[in-house]
Amino acid sequence: MSGIYDAIVVGAGHAGAESALALARLGKSTLLTATEIATVAY
């Protein structure tokens, strides 16, 4: 992990998780952030 990302998604709710997944599937290096584990969509 280099610390350089193509995209940073702030918020891991439903929309954020879907966005991060779509970016990763496109081959983009993606960082997904969340303030609380309880708010992460899965």
Residue 37 pLDDT more than 90?
no
**Residue 16 placed within a domain:** yes
Residue 21 included in any domain: yes
Could you list the residue range(s) of the whole structural domain that residue 32 is in?
7-39
31 located within any domain: yes
Q: How many structural domains compose the chain?
A: 1
Q: Assess if residue 1 is contained within a domain.
A: no
Mean of the pLDDT values across residues 1-28? 93
- The answer to the question of residue 2 being in a domain is no
Distance CA 42, CA 30 (A): 17
Residue linked to tokens 């991060």: 20
19 belongs to a structural domain: yes
Has residue 14 been placed in a domain? yes
Please write the tens of the pLDDT for every residue from 14-25.
999 999 999 999
pTM: 0.79
Classify residue 15 by burial, with Cβ atoms within 10 Å: 0-12, 13-18, 19+.
exposed
Rounded Cα gap, residues 42 and 35, in angstroms: 15
DSSP state of 41: -
